[in-house]
Amino acid sequence: MSRLASIFADLRARKAKALMPFVCGAYPAPGVTAGVLAAMERAGASVVEVGYPFSDPIADGPVIAAAMHDALQRRATPAGVTGEIAAARAAGLKIGVVAMVSVSIVHRLGPEKYFASLKSAGVDGVILPDVVLEDAQAWIASARDAGLTVTLLVAPTTDVKRAEKIARSCSGFVYMLARAGITGESASIATDALRERVRLLRGVSDLPIAVGFGVSNAAQVRQIVHDCDADAAIVGSALVRRMCDAQAAGQDPILAAELFARELAKGLV
């Protein structure tokens, strides 16, 4: 059983839910990612998404896009981010780690070589946010050959038949978007519509369902995992923003991330 499968099986056995923070690799500076991952584990996260900095992210809103730009300006590299994940594993990190990475990076580095490097570093799976289902199978095969799970995104506008095809192409978990558009904080969650989307997806897939895009606080985490019955809540922009604010104020961004993640985790109960 893979680490992700084991994590979600344990959560289901305990009737518990997962917090899945998103962090930008090498942000706010190269060398901090291992510390951020350890902080997320201490705060109660079950799985962490590590976004690989990319110059032209298509789904990320201004907060995450700015963080990626800043990381690249500070000479962040895919190999460097992977090395920081490996350092976290070497230091004893137990939670799941999933790389969110543009297929442009994978193509440039070579799928077989790149996916093998992720697996060797202790990454459990990949999220491919900018690949459509019709073009995904070769990427999926390469990642699975390396021993990684593969997650694709299901948009709010995706019809049930297509959502079923996407879910059947996934392993590890399915990423359902809480809203259309780009990442960023939301004032509210459309729980009725989202609950129905989760229900429909459960009818065609046994995989855990993680919901992100717009989830910003503990109350919304609670709505996602309890009111809408998702298995995990993904929080990205709100977390990255707090790291950015702490850095700008001369404070510890890792501590800021940990304190906020602890607050988010209160929404799981």
Closest to 205 (Cα-Cα) out of 252, 173, 236:
173
49 is catalytic: yes
Dihedral Cα 55, 59, 65, 69, nearest 10 deg: -10
Distance from C-alpha of 99 to C-alpha of 118, rounded to nearest angstrom: 8
258 is catalytic: no
Write down the catalytic residue from 49, 70, 124, 258. Answer: 49
Distance from C-alpha of 104 to C-alpha of 250, rounded to nearest angstrom: 34
Q: What are the DSSP E strand ranges found in the chain? A: 18-24, 47-51, 96-100, 125-127, 149-151, 153-154, 174-177, 209-212, 232-235
Distance from C-alpha of 131 to C-alpha of 102, rounded to nearest angstrom: 8
Write down the catalytic residue from 10, 41, 56, 60. Answer: 60
Unique residue bearing structure tokens 């593969």: 150
The catalytic residues are: 49, 60
